């Protein structure tokens, strides 16, 4: 179970740091089949979506798996904000193929779906039963994750986010067993992502950096990764949105997203993600877009207790330190909002479908989200409601 230290003790305690085996760099996709075979998998189920299936990466992966003597099948019925029904259908496909492992090729939605399929393959039941921390007790079948976007960090994380369509909310499933066995991070895959997807994924990665750095479960390893990731996103996101085929920007953003994922899976997250999940489920809005709207307001909210930490992040990306930590934190929030605007994100939640009458329900759900456990400021309903109102 997750152990949360008192505020201020995070850098001076024993911590555990977990990552998958990682293959990183241009051309890494060509090593994916070897990684699958090395795990003893013979009949992998390849999880992707129908857009990804139209790219050269999908057929290349299937061909490589077959050349390696494996017998892959594909499951493609995955949508953004993956539904619980899609996970259940994926589990059925897994059984019909008599699969013995999974390969996820795509963004965070695809990788989370594959994780959900793995949970059910090993543990049975309904995926929504696993909401919370460490509910999947039985070890999962092997999973190789190949991200096609630079942002979600799902390829290195212990998180799985699934949309409960009946309640119109996302459930957060957390556990060390959800960390993929191998992450194959090939920056070339990002070149076929649409600019709006690059922007959404990049703002998600930026949110991971900021929240990991101020989390109650942070440590020295996660701090170092969060700062390195933040500088990478800050320097390269706009470049990549403007030119998705910019190989240098793609490589730097892929590295930044991976570092951010390694930071947040070990430090966990905070109020921005806890508040984003119910919005994404209620309005079926893109996760990175919701994060980009909420993060500046959450920075200001949390600055009441950790302005010095935000000032340290601001210094890392060249924001003026004049005026004291609290003013610097406000300046950081403004700069984050400015970056979001420059890459095409909305400035409020209203265009995403959120209305004033929704905010109390969203607040209730945000307070129950597992990510709220590590937020640096103890959340109360009135404060979270005020953040939502400011973002509306």
169-210 tens-digit pLDDT: 999 999 999 999 999 999 999 999 999 999 999 999 999 999
Residue 1 has pLDDT above 50, yes or no: no
Partners of 104 in beta bridges: 47, 145
Q: How far apart are CA 128 and CA 126, in angstroms?
A: 6
Greater model confidence, 11 or 55? 55
Q: Which residues contact 381 (CB under 8 A, 6 or more apart)?
A: 363, 364, 367
User: What are the angstrom distances between the C-alpha of 276 and each of 169, 366, 392?
Assistant: 10, 8, 13
DSSP state of 221: H
pLDDT in tens, 324-358: 999 999 999 999 999 999 999 999 999 999 999 99
| Pair of tokens at residue 119 | 């949970």
With vertex at residue 101, the alpha carbon angle to CA 265 and CA 253, rounded to the nearest 5 degrees, is 40
Report the percentage of the chain scoring pLDDT > 70.
97
At residue 130, the pLDDT reads 96
Q: How confident is the model at residue 366 (pLDDT cuts 50, 70, 90)?
A: very high
374: three-class secondary structure by DSSP: helix
pLDDT digits (tens, 9 = 90+) for 78-88: 999 999 999 99
Residue 133 has pLDDT above 50, yes or no: yes
Q: Does domain 21-190 have CATH number 2.20.25.240?
A: no
In the predicted model, is pLDDT for residue 8 greater than 80? no
Q: Is 129 helix (H, G, I), strand (E, B) or coil?
A: helix
Select from 386, 332, 341 the least CA-distant residue to 359: 386
What is the model's pLDDT at position 16? 80
Query: CATH for 10-15+205-391, among 3.30.420.40, 3.10.310.10, 1.20.1090.10, 2.70.98.10?
Result: 1.20.1090.10
Interval 256-291: pLDDT, tens: 999 999 999 999 999 999 999 999 999 999 999 999
Domain-by-domain residue ranges, the chain? Answer: 10-15+205-391, 21-190
Q: Residue 6's pLDDT is what?
A: 53
């Amino acid at each position: 179970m997750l152990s949360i230290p008192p505020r201020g003790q995070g850098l001076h305690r024993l911590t555990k740091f977990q990552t998958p085996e990682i293959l990183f760099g241009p051309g890494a996709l060509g090593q994916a089949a070897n990684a699958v075979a090395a795990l003893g998998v013979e009949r992998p189920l390849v999880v992707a979506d129908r857009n990804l299936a139209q790219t050269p990466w999908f057929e290349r992966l299937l061909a490589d798996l077959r050349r390696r003597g494996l017998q892959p099948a594909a499951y493609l019925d995955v949508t953004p904000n993956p539904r619980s029904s899609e996970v259940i259908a994926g589990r059925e496909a897994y059984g019909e193929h008599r699969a013995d492992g999974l390969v996820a090729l795509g963004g965070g939605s695809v990788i989370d779906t594959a994780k959900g399929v793995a949970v059910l393959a090993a543990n049975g039941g309904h995926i929504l039963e696993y909401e919370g921390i460490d509910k999947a007790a039985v070890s999962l079948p092997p999973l190789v994750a190949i991200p096609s976007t630079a942002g979600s960090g799902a390829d290195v994380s212990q998180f799985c986010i699934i949309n409960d369509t009946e309640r119109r909310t996302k459930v957060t499933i957390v556990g060390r067993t959800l960390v993929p066995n191998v992450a194959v991070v090939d920056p070339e895959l990002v070149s076929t992502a649409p600019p709006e997807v690059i922007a959404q994924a990049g703002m998600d990665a930026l949110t991971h950096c900021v929240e990991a750095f101020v989390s109650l479960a942070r440590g020295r390893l996660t701090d170092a990764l969060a700062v390195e990731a933040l500088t990478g996103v800050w320097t390269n996101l706009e470049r990549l949105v403007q030119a998705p085929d910019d190989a240098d920007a793609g490589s730097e953003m892929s590295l930044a997203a991976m570092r951010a994922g390694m930071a947040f899976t070990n430090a966990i997250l905070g109020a921005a993600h806890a508040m984003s999940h119910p919005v994404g489920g209620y309005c079926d809005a893109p996760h990175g877009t919701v994060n980009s709207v909420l993060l500046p307001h959450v920075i200001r909210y949390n600055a009441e207790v950790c302005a010095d930490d935000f000032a340290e992040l601001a210094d890392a990306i060249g924001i003026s330190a004049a005026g004291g930590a609290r003013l610097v934190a406000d300046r950081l929030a403004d700069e984050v909002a400015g970056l979001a605007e420059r890459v095409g994100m909305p400035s409020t939640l209203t265009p995403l479908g959120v209305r004033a009458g929704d905010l109390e329900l969203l607040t209730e759900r945000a307070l129950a989200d597992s990510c709220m456990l590590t937020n640096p400021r103890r959340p109360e309903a009135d404060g979270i409601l005020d953040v939502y109102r400011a973002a509306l």
